[in-house]
Every structure is written in C-alpha cells, then in structure tokens.
Amino acid sequence: MPEKNNSIIFLAAHSGYGNTAFFKYLNKLTVGDEIILKYKDKIYHYKINHIWEEQKTGYIHVNREQKNQLVLTTCSPQDINKQLIINSNLKEY
C-alpha cells in the first residue's frame, strides 16, 4: 500500500471505449506528469519517470530498486500484442 516503505502498486484497466475503459487516455500521459492517487482518505502524488511498451506475457518488468512506485498498465493503442506501462515514483502525501 502507498503508505508503506518500498511499496510497488500495480493498477491495470481497460483502455478504448465503454464503461470499463478507465484508462482510456493513459497514452496521453508523458514523463514528468503527475498522478494523484487517493487511498484511505489520503492523497498521494506520484511523478511519471518512465513510459514504455512490452509484449503481453503476463509479466511487467519494473526496476525494483526504485522506491514507492505506482505502475499503471493497459493495452497498447498501437499494437494489440503489447501493453503500455507507465511507471511513477511517490513525491509526497
């Protein structure tokens, strides 16, 4: 959870269209953008530090040496065989 040291939170959601497309605009984010996560009535601010795509294998490769990460993922808008991955680090809460 975000309040614990060295946490890594993974959130995955659909992109595209429809009521379940919670990450519809995930591909519009850029390095340096801020992500705000509300959890248990606290606000956590994360800064995006890396964006990439990987083959869909059921695994996401992240640098575990980075501390307090939030990783967002969805299907790639350009390639149905890949997933878009957004990695960010906790700035403050």
The CATH code of the domain that includes 16 is 2.40.260.10
For the chain, the maximum distance between any two Cα atoms, rounded to a whole number of angstroms, is 37
Instruction: For residue 85, list its beta bridge partners.
Output: 52, 73
The total number of structural domains in the chain stands at 1
d(CA 58, CA 41): 31
Establish if 2 belongs to a structural domain.
no
Evaluate whether residue 26 is within a structural domain.
yes
Look at residue 80 and tell me whether its pLDDT is greater than 70.
Answer: yes
Q: Which residue's structure tokens are 């700035």? A: 91
Beta bridge pairs of residue 69: 8, 89
In a domain, 23, yes or no: yes
The confidence score (pLDDT) of residue 2 equals 74
Whether 1 maps to a domain, the answer reads no
In-domain check, residue 22:
yes
Read off the pLDDT of residues 13-69 as tens digits, 9 standing for 90 and up.
Answer: 888 788 888 888 889 999 999 999 999 999 999 999 999 999 999 888 887 777 899
Structural domain contains residue 46? yes
pTM above 0.85, yes or no: yes
Q: What is the CA radius of gyration of the chain?
A: 13
User: What is the extent of the structural domain holding 23?
Assistant: 8-92
Q: How far apart are the first and last CA of the chain?
A: 13
Average predicted confidence (pLDDT) for the chain: 89
